[in-house]
Amino acid sequence: MQTTRLRTSSTVSGRDLTPLLAGAATAVGGFGALLALTGSHSPLRAPLTLFFLLAAPAAGIAAALRGFDPFARLLASLAGSVVLNMLVAQGMLATHRWSARGGVLAVTVISVLILLLVLLRRRRRAKGQDL
């Protein structure tokens, strides 16, 4: 039995929009984190911060799951993002150190660490293949 895949791409007039969408998501998430860290009273603070809290860990987890099917990768990274946010919140509540700024900082640090570990692993594999 043969499996047929439909190939869909985010192209407009032959151009790939994936880097553009990734850049826009990074800008939106970064702006949400900035609004949360500065204590702004903007009406955009809550939705953009929520976007950052879901997207930042999901990006790191998705990078680690490079070989998975795209839909499975998306689902696993979003689930991992929710779990990571819950663990940070639970840890902060258990130690009586809850704050919105602290939560955003903790999620940012953990997400950056995940991405750095993925980059180090890829670099180590690339060096191993060159030898």
- Asked whether residue 38 is assigned to any structural domain, the reply reads no
- Asked whether residue 34 is assigned to any structural domain, the reply reads no
- Asked whether residue 35 is assigned to any structural domain, the reply reads no
Cα(1)–Cα(4) distance, rounded to whole angstroms?
10
Range of the structural domain that residue 86 is part of: 50-130
Kindly write down the DSSP assignment for every residue of 39-82, as one continuous string: T---TTHHHHHHHHHHHHHHHHHHHHTTTS-HHHHHHHHHHHHH
- Asked whether residue 105 is assigned to any structural domain, the reply reads yes
- Asked whether residue 16 is assigned to any structural domain, the reply reads no
- Asked whether residue 94 is assigned to any structural domain, the reply reads yes
pLDDT (tens digit, 0 to 9) for every residue of the chain, 131 residues total? 566 655 555 555 667 777 788 888 889 999 999 999 998 899 999 999 999 999 999 999 999 998 889 899 999 999 999 999 999 999 999 999 999 899 999 999 999 999 999 999 989 988 887 65
Predicted model pTM: 0.80
- Asked whether residue 118 is assigned to any structural domain, the reply reads yes
Cα(33)–Cα(121) distance, rounded to whole angstroms?
27
- Asked whether residue 125 is assigned to any structural domain, the reply reads yes
Domains contained in the chain, number: 1
